[in-house]
Amino acid sequence: MSYPDQSTLADADRILVIGCPGSGKSTLAKQLSQALDLRYISMDRDFYWLPGWRKRPRNEINRLIGDAVAAERWIMDGTGLNSFHLRLPRAEAVVWLRLPRYACLWGMISRAFRHLGRNRPELPAGCPERISLEALVYVWNFERNAAPSIEATLRKHGLIKSTVIIRSRKEARKFVALCA
């Protein structure tokens, strides 16, 4: 794994942006999609959710992901461990937002207040912003519960060397500037 250096993405046409909820995955992926001229794909909007916060059936999610990753050029935000097996074999690089817990909690809470009751662009119509205790607990425990599995999966797919780790919002801004 490397620390922010745009050379990791220099020749990458298929990039995953992963991290804890509230870390800024969607923001970074959209900024990088513009800087690198890649199609932006939102896992939440494009695969997982239907209006009214209804989850798509798993087989449909997998089909949509399979179709999307078959394309030659894209950047996709979303950690979604249960779909890594579809996305990682096609990814050429990974950007992992590994911000401190407090930064992710702040990101999630401030986003909820900014968009409360309204749709974010990264969500389908009919899915107004919401926040739950369960989501906050997930963020609180993300590094302990999810990060080891993410690391192991990146190693398994041979992407550990083409993974950029970003540990702060300031680092993320600098990284986008380097890639522009």
Query: Do residues 24 and 103 touch, judged by C-beta distance below 8 A?
Result: no
Number of domains comprising the chain? 1
Q: Encoding tokens for residue 36? A: 């690198």
Domain membership flag for residue 45: yes
Domain containing residue 49 = 6-179
Query: Do residues 143 and 72 touch, judged by C-beta distance below 8 A?
Result: no
Give the model confidence (pLDDT) of 17-74 as tens digits: 999 999 999 999 999 999 999 999 999 999 999 999 999 999 999 999 999 999 999 9
Q: Stretch 102-130: mean pLDDT, rounded?
A: 92
DSSP string, 56-78: PPHHHHHHHHHHHHTSSSEEEE-
Give the model confidence (pLDDT) of 75-88 as tens digits: 999 999 999 999 99
Domain membership flag for residue 150: yes
Query: Do residues 41 and 75 touch, judged by C-beta distance below 8 A?
Result: yes
Domain membership flag for residue 98: yes
Domain membership flag for residue 1: no
- CATH code, domain carrying 66: 3.40.50.300
pLDDT of 3 above 60? no
Q: Encoding tokens for residue 69? A: 């990753």
pTM score above 0.85: yes
